[in-house]
Chain A
Amino acid sequence: MSETVGTVDATGGIRTVPRAGWHVGTVTATNRETPNASRLELEVDGWPGNAPGQHLDVRLTAPDGYTATRSYSIASSGDSTRVVLAVDKLPDGEVSPFLVDELREGDMLEVHGPLGAFFVWRPGAEPRPVQLIAGGSGVVPLYAIANARAEAGDETPFRLLYSVRTPDDVYFARELEALAGTSDPLRLDLVYTRRAPDGWPTPPGRITREVLEAAVVPAAEHPLVYVCGSTGFVERVADWLVGYGHDARSIRTERYGGT
């Protein structure tokens, strides 16, 4: 990573993230990730790399100069100038339908980043187990974190609890399955809210307190917890975690808004 800046986090540790700036990304691939989302691969000129869990801004400009800017989590990490996004199409969205349905290989996008130095995890930074909790497309930065751990051969105990509507809506399905099948596996717990696979042991439904407690690293093991999803999901889950004795300062949250 070329240029970095140091920050002190809430626990007093020093870490560095690459400095944010404007860059031009060229779309090298766009593929359906789920029926409602696309995976975009960008080659970003001058991208300084990014930490697992960071995000970026995408700015679109219309012929008359009108611009629209939105933030997206990054599914990739490390020094590479290849940046992977997975974008969920919002029903009344202005930017996400364009990115999901219109964007083609060879198109260019303005991006600003990498952004955010709090909702990140680095291999070897802290010797604490990690619990990832995702609702829907909130899995994107958590996938980046889980994948970074695997790529580094890091042995930190990791669990991912992933709440998703149906089996078709799982992001990074093959990649997560592979991470769960390694010798030092990511422990993956899926909760289906609308439709479960045939033979799934439990009927579909939203995460309950009991499911959460059973699938999460116990508070006694002092895990670092990352929660990402809709505001309602994050509020509910974070409240329950605090109720189960998790230290509020060990719970990092990120939400996608309604826009």
Chain B
Amino acid sequence: MSFITRGFSGRSRERDERLPPGQTLVHDFPVLSAGPTPDIDTADWEFTVRTESGATSWNWDEFMSLKIDDVNTDIHCVTHWSKLGTSWRGVSLDTIFEHVETELDYVMAHSYGGYTTNVPLDELLDGKAWVAFEFDGEPLDPEHGGPARLLVPHLYFWKSAKWVRGLEMMSSDEPGFWEQNGYHIHGDPWKEERYW
């Protein structure tokens, strides 16, 4: 149903093929959060994966002793901005799930502060997701999710839960916080799965 807007020419004539539909390239790093930024000391930080059979936890030092990946990726926010070629360091979910046994197919990520977001497990494995704690060579800023956030760059960025503290395995795909508040259950930017 798209029609030409009278008088609008737009600024950019070159379309970067790395930009999904409806996205605009930014060079700063906008912030989207539903509430205040929690203050989490790495001394108190813990990351826990809960399954049908129990829980596996790492404290900060234990987590830092896991295999750490350098990640270079594009990120896409549902509020229409994208950043290209961002650099992160973090622990792959493949590494984390080497230590976890589960038959369940769905994940709810939980954050300090109460935020939740849902992702199917197969969208987190095979090099598709990390728990990231460095951005651009520096410790991750609290307002961007530090000390650690989930990084699931092939989905809209609300799925990359800031201040992540754990994953809960589920038997079905239940909606998390933004998914209950108007955002799409899945969130593929290339299909513009923004809202339901």
**Does B bind A?**
yes
* Interface residues in chain A, defined as those with a beta carbon under 8 Å from any beta carbon in chain B: 5, 7-10, 17, 20, 22, 24, 57, 59-64, 66-71, 94, 98, 102-104, 107-110, 112, 115-119, 231, 235, 238-239, 241-242, 248-249, 251-253, 255, 257-259
A107 pairs with B6, CB closer than 8 A:
yes
Known contacts being A257-B79, A259-B81, is A5 close to B196, with CB within 8 Å?
A: yes
| B1 nearest CB neighbor, chain A only | A22
Chain B contact-residue range equals: 35 or more
Q: Smallest Cβ distance from A69 to chain B, in angstroms?
A: 5
* Interface residues in chain B, defined as those with a beta carbon under 8 Å from any beta carbon in chain A: 1-13, 15, 22, 24, 26, 28, 30-38, 79-81, 113-114, 143, 177-178, 180-182, 195-196
Contacts of A62 in B (CB 8 A): 4-5, 8-10
Contacts of A17 in B (CB 8 A): 182
CA distance A171 to B58 in the complex (A): 50
CA distance A20 to B184 in the complex (A): 11
CA distance A61 to B11 in the complex (A): 12
A-B contact list, 6 entries, CB within 8 Å = A67-B2, A68-B24, A70-B24, A103-B7, A239-B36, A258-B28
Q: Smallest Cβ distance from B29 to chain A, in angstroms?
A: 9
A66 pairs with B12, CB closer than 8 A:
yes
* A-B contacts at CB below 8 angstroms, number: 137
A259 pairs with B31, CB closer than 8 A:
no
| B177 nearest CB neighbor, chain A only | A10
Contacts of B26 in A (CB 8 A): 257-259
Determine which of A63, A112, A251, A258 lies in contact with B9 in the assembled complex, contact meaning CB atoms within 8 Å: A63
B181 pairs with A108, CB closer than 8 A:
no
CA distance A259 to B180 in the complex (A): 27
Question: Which 3 pairs of residues, A with B, have the shortest CB-CB distance?
Answer: A257-B30, A238-B36, A117-B181
Contacts of A107 in B (CB 8 A): 5-7
B5 pairs with A61, CB closer than 8 A:
yes
Determine which of B8, B28, B182 lies in contact with A102 in the assembled complex, contact meaning CB atoms within 8 Å: B8
Determine which of A8, A94, A231, A248 lies in contact with B36 in the assembled complex, contact meaning CB atoms within 8 Å: A248
Contacts of A241 in B (CB 8 A): 36
CA distance A112 to B22 in the complex (A): 12
B182 pairs with A7, CB closer than 8 A:
yes
| B34 nearest CB neighbor, chain A only | A118
B7 pairs with A253, CB closer than 8 A:
no
A60 pairs with B10, CB closer than 8 A:
yes
CA distance A259 to B1 in the complex (A): 26
Contacts of B8 in A (CB 8 A): 60-62, 68, 98, 102
Q: Smallest Cβ distance from A12 to chain B, in angstroms?
A: 11
Contacts of B195 in A (CB 8 A): 20, 112, 115
A94 pairs with B30, CB closer than 8 A:
no
A69 pairs with B22, CB closer than 8 A:
yes
Q: Smallest Cβ distance from B114 to chain A, in angstroms?
A: 6
Interface centre among B6, B7, B31, B181 (most CB of A within 10 A): B181
A248 pairs with B113, CB closer than 8 A:
yes
B2 pairs with A110, CB closer than 8 A:
yes
Contacts of A117 in B (CB 8 A): 180-182
Determine which of A8, A67, A248 lies in contact with B35 in the assembled complex, contact meaning CB atoms within 8 Å: A248
CA distance A248 to B113 in the complex (A): 8
Known contacts being A61-B2, A61-B3, is A94 close to B24, with CB within 8 Å?
A: yes
Contacts of B6 in A (CB 8 A): 104, 107-108
CA distance A20 to B107 in the complex (A): 26
